[in-house]
Protein backbone atom coordinates (compact mmCIF):
# COMPACT_ATOMS: atom_id res chain seq x y z
CA UNK A 1 0.00 0.00 0.00
CA UNK A 2 1.43 3.40 -0.94
CA UNK A 3 1.64 6.17 1.62
CA UNK A 4 -1.04 8.08 -0.35
CA UNK A 5 -3.31 5.06 -0.21
CA UNK A 6 -2.56 4.60 3.48
CA UNK A 7 -3.42 8.23 4.16
CA UNK A 8 -6.64 7.91 2.17
CA UNK A 9 -7.60 4.75 4.02
CA UNK A 10 -6.88 6.37 7.37
CA UNK A 11 -8.98 9.36 6.33
CA UNK A 12 -11.77 7.02 5.25
CA UNK A 13 -11.72 5.20 8.56
CA UNK A 14 -11.76 8.48 10.45
CA UNK A 15 -14.64 9.75 8.34
CA UNK A 16 -16.53 6.51 8.91
CA UNK A 17 -15.90 6.74 12.64
CA UNK A 18 -17.09 10.35 12.79
CA UNK A 19 -20.16 9.50 10.74
CA UNK A 20 -20.97 6.67 13.13
CA UNK A 21 -20.60 8.90 16.17
CA UNK A 22 -23.11 11.36 14.77
CA UNK A 23 -25.52 8.87 13.25
CA UNK A 24 -28.60 7.19 14.61
CA UNK A 25 -29.40 3.48 14.86
CA UNK A 26 -28.75 1.44 11.76
CA UNK A 27 -26.20 3.79 10.28
CA UNK A 28 -22.88 2.28 9.32
CA UNK A 29 -20.90 5.32 8.29
CA UNK A 30 -19.47 6.23 4.98
CA UNK A 31 -20.84 3.74 2.44
CA UNK A 32 -19.17 4.94 -0.79
CA UNK A 33 -15.74 5.08 0.83
CA UNK A 34 -16.22 1.68 2.43
CA UNK A 35 -17.33 0.10 -0.87
CA UNK A 36 -14.29 1.48 -2.64
CA UNK A 37 -11.62 0.62 -0.10
CA UNK A 38 -13.16 -2.43 1.56
CA UNK A 39 -15.15 -4.19 -1.20
CA UNK A 40 -15.17 -7.60 0.50
CA UNK A 41 -16.32 -6.10 3.81
CA UNK A 42 -19.09 -4.36 1.84
CA UNK A 43 -20.23 -7.72 0.51
CA UNK A 44 -19.29 -7.04 -3.10
CA UNK A 45 -19.10 -10.41 -4.85
CA UNK A 46 -19.72 -12.16 -8.16
CA UNK A 47 -21.02 -9.78 -10.84
CA UNK A 48 -23.83 -12.14 -11.87
CA UNK A 49 -25.14 -12.51 -8.32
CA UNK A 50 -26.90 -10.36 -5.72
CA UNK A 51 -26.69 -11.37 -2.06
CA UNK A 52 -29.91 -10.80 -0.11
CA UNK A 53 -29.36 -10.51 3.64
CA UNK A 54 -31.85 -10.05 6.48
CA UNK A 55 -30.91 -8.81 9.95
CA UNK A 56 -32.35 -8.97 13.47
CA UNK A 57 -34.43 -12.18 13.32
CA UNK A 58 -35.56 -14.82 13.78
CA UNK A 59 -38.87 -13.14 14.64
CA UNK A 60 -42.04 -15.27 14.74
CA UNK A 61 -44.06 -12.11 14.00
CA UNK A 62 -42.41 -11.38 10.66
CA UNK A 63 -39.71 -13.83 9.52
CA UNK A 64 -42.15 -16.52 8.26
CA UNK A 65 -43.60 -14.04 5.75
CA UNK A 66 -40.09 -13.38 4.38
CA UNK A 67 -39.55 -17.13 4.03
CA UNK A 68 -42.81 -17.38 2.08
CA UNK A 69 -41.86 -14.61 -0.36
CA UNK A 70 -38.41 -16.10 -0.89
CA UNK A 71 -39.90 -19.56 -1.48
CA UNK A 72 -42.44 -18.16 -3.94
CA UNK A 73 -39.56 -16.65 -5.92
CA UNK A 74 -37.34 -19.73 -5.52
CA UNK A 75 -34.73 -17.46 -3.96
CA UNK A 76 -32.43 -18.12 -1.06
CA UNK A 77 -30.76 -15.60 1.24
CA UNK A 78 -28.60 -15.09 4.32
CA UNK A 79 -30.22 -14.39 7.69
CA UNK A 80 -28.01 -12.61 10.25
CA UNK A 81 -29.59 -13.88 13.46
CA UNK A 82 -29.47 -12.34 16.90
CA UNK A 83 -28.64 -14.88 19.60
CA UNK A 84 -31.22 -13.32 21.91
CA UNK A 85 -33.90 -13.86 19.25
CA UNK A 86 -32.73 -17.42 18.50
CA UNK A 87 -33.11 -18.23 22.20
CA UNK A 88 -36.79 -17.23 21.97
CA UNK A 89 -37.49 -18.96 18.65
CA UNK A 90 -34.95 -21.77 18.08
CA UNK A 91 -37.33 -23.73 15.85
CA UNK A 92 -37.65 -20.75 13.51
CA UNK A 93 -33.85 -20.61 13.21
CA UNK A 94 -33.96 -24.29 12.27
CA UNK A 95 -36.77 -23.63 9.78
CA UNK A 96 -34.70 -20.91 8.07
CA UNK A 97 -31.80 -23.32 7.55
CA UNK A 98 -34.13 -26.19 6.55
CA UNK A 99 -35.60 -23.98 3.82
CA UNK A 100 -32.13 -23.74 2.26
CA UNK A 101 -31.17 -20.32 3.56
CA UNK A 102 -27.87 -19.45 5.16
CA UNK A 103 -27.74 -18.59 8.85
CA UNK A 104 -25.15 -16.12 10.10
CA UNK A 105 -24.27 -14.24 13.29
CA UNK A 106 -25.45 -10.74 14.24
CA UNK A 107 -24.33 -10.97 17.88
CA UNK A 108 -26.33 -11.86 20.97
CA UNK A 109 -27.33 -8.37 22.14
CA UNK A 110 -27.93 -5.62 19.58
CA UNK A 111 -25.32 -3.24 20.98
CA UNK A 112 -22.51 -1.19 19.47
CA UNK A 113 -19.31 -3.24 19.63
CA UNK A 114 -17.20 -0.07 19.91
CA UNK A 115 -18.88 0.78 23.23
CA UNK A 116 -18.14 -2.60 24.83
CA UNK A 117 -15.04 -4.22 26.29
CA UNK A 118 -13.36 -6.54 23.76
CA UNK A 119 -13.91 -9.50 26.09
CA UNK A 120 -17.63 -8.73 26.31
CA UNK A 121 -17.79 -8.53 22.52
CA UNK A 122 -16.01 -11.87 22.21
CA UNK A 123 -18.29 -13.56 24.76
CA UNK A 124 -21.38 -12.08 23.08
CA UNK A 125 -20.28 -13.26 19.62
CA UNK A 126 -19.30 -16.73 20.85
CA UNK A 127 -22.62 -17.18 22.63
CA UNK A 128 -24.51 -16.06 19.51
CA UNK A 129 -22.46 -18.29 17.21
CA UNK A 130 -23.14 -21.29 19.46
CA UNK A 131 -26.87 -20.51 19.69
CA UNK A 132 -27.19 -20.22 15.90
CA UNK A 133 -25.23 -23.44 15.36
CA UNK A 134 -27.13 -25.38 18.04
CA UNK A 135 -30.56 -24.27 16.81
CA UNK A 136 -29.95 -24.66 13.08
CA UNK A 137 -27.43 -27.50 13.01
CA UNK A 138 -25.23 -25.38 10.76
CA UNK A 139 -21.95 -23.71 11.72
CA UNK A 140 -22.21 -20.09 10.52
CA UNK A 141 -19.52 -18.51 8.33
CA UNK A 142 -20.39 -14.83 8.39
CA UNK A 143 -20.73 -12.11 11.01
CA UNK A 144 -22.38 -8.69 10.77
CA UNK A 145 -21.99 -6.38 13.78
CA UNK A 146 -25.03 -4.56 15.20
CA UNK A 147 -25.42 -1.18 13.42
CA UNK A 148 -22.69 -2.29 11.00
CA UNK A 149 -20.01 -0.85 13.26
CA UNK A 150 -16.95 -3.05 13.72
CA UNK A 151 -14.57 -2.52 16.61
CA UNK A 152 -11.03 -3.90 16.68
CA UNK A 153 -12.23 -6.31 19.36
CA UNK A 154 -15.07 -7.52 17.15
CA UNK A 155 -12.68 -8.07 14.25
CA UNK A 156 -10.35 -10.09 16.48
CA UNK A 157 -13.22 -12.12 17.92
CA UNK A 158 -14.61 -12.88 14.47
CA UNK A 159 -11.19 -14.07 13.36
CA UNK A 160 -10.90 -16.37 16.37
CA UNK A 161 -14.32 -17.85 15.67
CA UNK A 162 -13.66 -18.29 11.94
CA UNK A 163 -16.36 -15.77 11.04
CA UNK A 164 -15.95 -13.42 8.08
CA UNK A 165 -17.32 -9.91 8.76
CA UNK A 166 -19.64 -8.65 6.02
CA UNK A 167 -21.60 -5.40 5.94
CA UNK A 168 -23.61 -4.48 2.80
CA UNK A 169 -23.58 -2.33 -0.34
CA UNK A 170 -27.31 -1.40 -0.54
CA UNK A 171 -29.91 -0.90 2.14
CA UNK A 172 -33.58 -0.02 2.29
CA UNK A 173 -33.63 2.41 5.24
CA UNK A 174 -36.90 0.81 6.28
CA UNK A 175 -36.36 1.98 9.88
CA UNK A 176 -36.85 5.62 8.90
CA UNK A 177 -40.08 7.42 9.73
CA UNK A 178 -42.51 7.22 6.84
CA UNK A 179 -40.74 4.32 5.08
CA UNK A 180 -42.98 2.38 2.70
CA UNK A 181 -42.45 -0.64 0.45
CA UNK A 182 -41.96 1.82 -2.40
CA UNK A 183 -39.39 3.94 -0.59
CA UNK A 184 -37.52 0.81 0.49
CA UNK A 185 -37.55 -0.55 -3.05
CA UNK A 186 -36.32 2.71 -4.56
CA UNK A 187 -33.58 3.15 -1.94
CA UNK A 188 -32.24 -0.38 -2.47
CA UNK A 189 -32.56 -0.27 -6.25
CA UNK A 190 -30.74 3.08 -6.52
CA UNK A 191 -27.51 1.51 -5.29
CA UNK A 192 -27.92 -2.01 -6.58
CA UNK A 193 -25.95 -3.73 -9.33
CA UNK A 194 -24.54 -7.19 -9.97
CA UNK A 195 -22.23 -8.22 -7.16
CA UNK A 196 -24.18 -6.16 -4.63
CA UNK A 197 -25.24 -7.12 -1.15
CA UNK A 198 -28.70 -5.99 0.00
CA UNK A 199 -29.50 -5.37 3.67
CA UNK A 200 -33.10 -5.56 4.85
CA UNK A 201 -34.58 -6.30 8.28
CA UNK A 202 -36.95 -9.23 8.87
CA UNK A 203 -37.78 -8.01 12.40
CA UNK A 204 -38.80 -4.77 14.08
CA UNK A 205 -37.01 -5.73 17.30
CA UNK A 206 -34.49 -2.89 16.90
CA UNK A 207 -36.52 -0.70 14.52
CA UNK A 208 -39.77 1.25 14.70
CA UNK A 209 -42.92 -0.83 14.22
CA UNK A 210 -43.64 -1.36 10.54
CA UNK A 211 -40.01 -1.43 9.34
CA UNK A 212 -40.01 -5.15 8.55
CA UNK A 213 -43.39 -4.84 6.80
CA UNK A 214 -41.99 -2.11 4.55
CA UNK A 215 -38.99 -4.32 3.74
CA UNK A 216 -41.24 -7.29 3.08
CA UNK A 217 -43.39 -5.24 0.72
CA UNK A 218 -40.33 -4.24 -1.30
CA UNK A 219 -38.90 -7.74 -1.56
CA UNK A 220 -40.97 -9.30 -4.38
CA UNK A 221 -40.23 -6.50 -6.84
CA UNK A 222 -36.54 -6.48 -5.95
CA UNK A 223 -36.31 -10.24 -6.57
CA UNK A 224 -38.26 -9.94 -9.82
CA UNK A 225 -36.02 -7.12 -11.07
CA UNK A 226 -32.89 -9.14 -10.31
CA UNK A 227 -34.29 -12.06 -12.28
CA UNK A 228 -35.29 -9.80 -15.19
CA UNK A 229 -31.72 -8.42 -15.24
CA UNK A 230 -30.20 -11.90 -15.34
CA UNK A 231 -28.91 -11.60 -11.78
CA UNK A 232 -29.22 -14.54 -9.43
CA UNK A 233 -30.42 -13.71 -5.92
CA UNK A 234 -28.78 -15.87 -3.30
CA UNK A 235 -26.94 -16.18 -0.01
CA UNK A 236 -23.47 -14.88 0.81
CA UNK A 237 -22.21 -18.48 0.66
CA UNK A 238 -22.70 -18.33 -3.12
CA UNK A 239 -21.60 -14.73 -3.55
CA UNK A 240 -17.92 -15.47 -4.21
CA UNK A 241 -16.52 -13.74 -1.14
Q: Point out the residues that are catalytic.
A: 55, 201
Report which of 183, 166, 181, 203 is spatially closest to residue 61, judged by C-alpha positions. Answer: 203
**Which lies closer to Zn ion via its Cβ, residue 56 or residue 59?**
56
In angstroms, what is the minimal distance from the CB of 79 to Zn ion? 11
Contact 113/148 with Cβ under 8 angstroms? no
The 83-122 contact track toward Zn ion, x by CB under 5 A, reads: ----------------------------------------
Cβ proximity of 124 and 110 under 8 Å: no
Instruction: Examine residue 55 and tell whether it contacts Zn ion (CB under 5 A).
Output: yes
What's the maximum distance between 2 C-alpha atoms anywhere in the chain? 51
Binding of residue 174 to Zn ion (CB under 5 A): no
Nearest to 11 by CA among 45, 39, 36: 36
Pick the closest to residue 103 from 114, 92, 112 (CA basis): 92
Give dist(CA 105, CA 86) in Å, integer. Answer: 10
> Residue 145 Cβ, how far from Zn ion at the closest point, in Å?
9
Q: Which of 38, 50, 56, 63 binds Zn ion (CB under 5 A)?
A: 56
Smallest distance from Zn ion to CB 232, Å? 25
204 binds Zn ion (CB under 5 A): no
User: Between 92 and 226, whose beta carbon lies closer to Zn ion?
Assistant: 92
Q: Which residue is nearest to Zn ion (CB)?
A: 55
**Which neighbouring-strand residues pair with 238?**
none
What is the 8-class DSSP label of residue 108?
A: S
Of 54 and 231, nearer to Zn ion (C-beta) is 54
Give the nearer residue to Zn ion in terms of CB position, either 56 or 204.
56
* CA gap 183, 160 in Å, rounded: 39
Question: Please, which residues have CB within 8 angstroms of residue 48's CB and are 6 or more apart in sequence?
Answer: 194, 230, 231, 232
Q: Given the complex with Zn ion, which of 49 and 143 has the nearer CB atom? A: 143
Minimum CB separation of residue 24 from Zn ion in Å reads 13
- Spatial distance between the Cα atoms of 74 and 54, rounded to a whole number of angstroms: 16
Query: Which range, of 2-10, 52-60, 66-74, 92-100, touches Zn ion by CB under 5 A?
Result: 52-60
Helix (H, G, I), strand (E, B) or coil at 197: strand
Looking at 11-19, 53-61, 160-168, 224-232, which segment touches Zn ion (CB under 5 A)? 53-61
Instruction: Return residues touching Zn ion (CB under 5 A).
Output: 55-56
Amino acid sequence: MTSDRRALTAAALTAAGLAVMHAGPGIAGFGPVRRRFFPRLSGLGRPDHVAFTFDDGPDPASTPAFLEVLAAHRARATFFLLGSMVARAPQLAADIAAAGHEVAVHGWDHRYTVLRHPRAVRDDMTRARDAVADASGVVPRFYRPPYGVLSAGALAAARRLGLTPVLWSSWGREWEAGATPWSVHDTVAAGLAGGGCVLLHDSDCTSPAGAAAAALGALPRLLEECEASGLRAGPLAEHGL
